[in-house]
Amino acid sequence: MSVYDRGMCAHPGCGSALPSFQLINGPLNHPPESGWKITTLPQEAAHLASAWTGHPGQPTSAKAAWWDMLDFLSSNGVRSPDISREVHDLGIEQWCSSDPKRCPREYRGRFRKHTPPDLPWAKDAWEAANNALANNLQPEDVKGTLDAVVTTLTALISSPTGCQRCHSHWLTHLETHPVPVNPTLDEARHWLVDIHNLTREGKTPTPFEEVKEKFSWL
């Protein structure tokens, strides 16, 4: 039984009062591309982003996704009268903002299509990351260099000039596409280009060959 069923939250959005939600224009309960897991945490739970990324829950519906996050937050001491409503809205925003027509009319006007923020450091940071994997990099230094690149990018994304949504998104993709254990230089380059394309929301993926040519990779 969820702690929210035991009276831990008095907000109308708690317990069985959580609204039902189904996508339209598709098979019943067919999940969005992102799946049913809610990827963004409430602001007051931002410090739990890494733990949430590795949380093993695999909800099969919107309501299960809401319960999954509510139970996770409660078990980590994050509770407030408004938390369940905020979690509900985070899920709706994630599932509806990418394709409003797919969602019930009552939700369409609440969320605009998400536009990734303009991060002032992004272009320079990714170019520096690509340059770090230069042709003269020794095989024994590839892993350490790639780890340092990931550490730097993670710090930038989570900094005051980054964004919380981007940070959660980045951690999710690091979980599903982990850094190679002992990569060759070519494998490290392909991984970096792939993770960059995955995290560039709303932008056309850049082909590997184009990046290879730009940075004169052999």
Reduced 3-state DSSP string for the chain: CCHHHHCCCCCCCCHHHCCCCCCCCCCCCCCCCCCCCCCCCCHHHHHHHHHHHCCCCCCCCHHHHHHHHHHHHHHCCCCCCCHHHHHHHHHHHHHHHCCHHHCCHHHHCCCCCCCCCCCCCHHHHHHHHHHHCCCCCCHHHHHHHHHHHHHHHHHHHCCCCCCHHHHHHHHHHHHHCCCCCCCCHHHHHHHHHHHHHHHCCCCCCCCHHHHHHHCCCC
Q: pTM of this prediction?
A: 0.53
Per-residue pLDDT reduced to its tens digit, 86-134: 888 888 888 887 677 778 877 766 655 555 567 889 889 999 999 999 9
Per-residue pLDDT reduced to its tens digit, 150-173: 999 999 988 878 877 788 778 888
User: Is residue 122 a contact partner of residue 163, using CB atoms and an 8 Å limit?
Assistant: no
Q: What pLDDT, on a 0 to 100 scale, did the predictor assign at position 53?
A: 78
Q: What pLDDT, on a 0 to 100 scale, did the predictor assign at position 117?
A: 64
User: Is residue 13 a contact partner of residue 88, using CB atoms and an 8 Å limit?
Assistant: yes
Q: What pLDDT, on a 0 to 100 scale, did the predictor assign at position 109?
A: 62
- Domain limits of the chain? 3-108, 122-214
User: Please, what's the largest Cα pairwise distance for the chain?
Assistant: 62
Q: What pLDDT, on a 0 to 100 scale, did the predictor assign at position 138?
A: 96
Q: What is each CA distance from 84 to 12, 18, 68, 115, 156, in whole angstroms? A: 9, 8, 11, 25, 30
Structure tokens at 152: 């730097």
Mean pLDDT of 13-17: 47
Count of CB atoms situated within 10 Å of the CB of 110:
13
Place of tokens 């590839």: 142
Mean pLDDT of 20-37: 74
User: Is residue 70 a contact partner of residue 2, using CB atoms and an 8 Å limit?
Assistant: yes
